[in-house]
Structure 1
Amino acid sequence: MSTRMLWAVLVAVALSGCRIVSERQLAELKNPPNANVAKAAQLFDQKIAPQVIASARPLGSLLTQIGHAKDFDAACQQFGYRSQEENPCVFAVSVTGAISEVNTASRNGQIVIKSDDAAGEVNVQIGPTFRGTDLRDSYRGLSYADFNDQNLFGDFSKAINQQAINTVAKQTFAVGGKVTVYGVFSVFDTPQPPLLITPVKITQ
């Protein structure tokens, strides 16, 4: 067998055991997708939203309790949740009141609610995009250690936010309408208005 033919056979054999993959497939082979990202929607429906609703405190009462605490760290430990020391404290709340504004000029649409319980006015995100990672950071079942990749952790937050957006996307909001919001907000220190609430459920 000639040298040229031998090389041709070797190349054919080598190629027979290979397959062409896309750049995305190659990236996934190097860093397999995190299972938690894939089931983010399921986690929101079955874990995150029920956890927020079950632990939600009326906003007016919560603000009073925070004000009476020894300091903010003590208030966070008793009434909120901080996943890591350097993170803000996340509080789960419920707010009932009348809509005073509907702002949809930007993609981060919001409604303004005048609370019935003397908590003043609060802003509530309604989409089609949500700012922040409060929903992800409120969940006690997972932490950054379950991802060990900042991009994946960010993707997880986006997927959770999207599921929350889907829950309110079908609703229409109008000034004067009465709503009850279950959601979360985060702060590094004693809450100051206006608070921005990321909802898991809005009822009318």
Structure 2
Amino acid sequence: MNIRIVLAVSVLAASLSGCKFVKTNAGEDGASADPMAELVETSFDAKLVPALNEKAVELATLRDALKSGLDKAGEAHGVRVGGAGGGWNFPVKGTATVVEENRASKAATADIDLDGDNKGDATLQLGPVIKGTALRDTTTLYDFSTFRDQIEYAKLGRALNDKAVSKLPAADTPLKGKKVAFLGAVVIRSASEKPQIMPVSIEVVP
């Protein structure tokens, strides 16, 4: 056998031995199902939303807790990913008035006022472009060790964000000036930063 072929086969075998494969299932038409899409579909409404709802802290309460320090607030209400020095992830909910709305950008946002001073105290991400992976990281539902690698884990974060965006008010539903109730997750790395929340629901309330 040609030595180049031998080397190529050896390299391929070595690379495959260190891989962890994600199982795929065949659909009714014989095509392979997307395991990531299946995971999001089966867990988002059934597990993630209830988990956030159960643990969510009122955003106003979290703001007050942050005045005593991020770590103290995190220990009381959050989950830390990445060990010491990493940000704290918080499940949050609340009712606030939308004072600004930016739909021109693909990373659309709405600024919300919690205390009635007509100033934005936090930001709701509306998408479709979303920053961060707070929905993935705020609960213990998605264990990194069960994924093939960091790339697959990152895909999960994006898939969860996409699913959440699909459930938010569409661009032709103006929110500015309206009172809304929201539920979602946020990662905070500094007690002084303006929270940028990824909501799983936004509802206009009377």
Query: Which TM class, normalised by the smaller chain length?
Result: 0.7 to 0.9
Structure with larger Rg: 1
User: How has the CA–CA distance of structure 1 residues 148 and 188 changed in structure 2, closer, same or farther, with 3 Å as cutoff?
Assistant: farther
User: C-alpha root-mean-square deviation of aligned residues, in Å?
Assistant: 2.5
**Deviation of 1:49 (Å):** 1.4
The residue that corresponds to 1:64 in the other structure is 64
> Is the Cα contact below 8 Å between 1:34 and 1:152 reproduced in 2?
no
> Is the Cα contact below 8 Å between 1:96 and 1:116 reproduced in 2?
no
SS at match of 1:90: strand
Structure 2, unaligned runs of 5 or more: 1-15, 25-34
The residue that corresponds to 1:97 in the other structure is 96
Amino acid at match of 1:61: T
User: How has the CA–CA distance of structure 1 residues 178 and 142 changed in structure 2, closer, same or farther, with 3 Å as cutoff?
Assistant: same
The residue that corresponds to 1:81 in the other structure is 79
Relative to the length of structure 1, the TM-score reads 0.74
Q: Deviations over 1:91-115 (max 9, x none)?
A: 1111312111110121111111111
User: How has the CA–CA distance of structure 1 residues 148 and 78 changed in structure 2, closer, same or farther, with 3 Å as cutoff?
Assistant: farther
The residue that corresponds to 2:149 in the other structure is 149
Report the Cα distance in structure 1 between the residues aligned to 2:203 and 2:157, rounded to whole angstroms: 23
Pairs within 5 Å for 1:128-143 = 128-143=128-143
**Deviation of 1:75 (Å):** 2.5
Report the Cα distance in structure 1 between the residues aligned to 2:130 and 2:163, rounded to whole angstroms: 11
Report the Cα distance in structure 2 between the residues aligned to 1:164 and 1:110, rounded to whole angstroms: 14
Q: Deviations over 1:133-186 (max 9, x none)?
A: 111011212221121401100111111111101111547133211111111111
User: How has the CA–CA distance of structure 1 residues 198 and 174 changed in structure 2, closer, same or farther, with 3 Å as cutoff?
Assistant: same
Report the Cα distance in structure 2 between the residues aligned to 1:141 and 1:150, rounded to whole angstroms: 16
**Deviation of 1:117 (Å):** 7.2
Report the Cα distance in structure 2 between the residues aligned to 1:166 and 1:175, rounded to whole angstroms: 20
Q: Deviations over 1:61-93 (max 9, x none)?
A: 12212323xx53333122101133153110111
**Deviation of 1:31 (Å):** 5.8
> Is the Cα contact below 8 Å between 1:182 and 1:200 reproduced in 2?
yes
Pairs within 5 Å for 1:27-46 = 32-33=21-22, 37=36, 38-46=38-46
Report the Cα distance in structure 1 between the residues aligned to 2:74 and 2:102, rounded to whole angstroms: 31
SS at match of 1:167: coil
Report the Cα distance in structure 1 between the residues aligned to 2:46 and 2:81, rounded to whole angstroms: 20
Aligned length: 173
Report the Cα distance in structure 1 between the residues aligned to 2:199 and 2:44, rounded to whole angstroms: 12
Report the Cα distance in structure 1 between the residues aligned to 2:40 and 2:65, rounded to whole angstroms: 32
The residue that corresponds to 1:107 in the other structure is 106
The residue that corresponds to 2:163 in the other structure is 163
> Is the Cα contact below 8 Å between 1:126 and 1:168 reproduced in 2?
yes
SS at match of 1:78: helix
> Is the Cα contact below 8 Å between 1:83 and 1:143 reproduced in 2?
no
* Higher helix proportion: 1
Relative to the length of structure 2, the TM-score reads 0.74
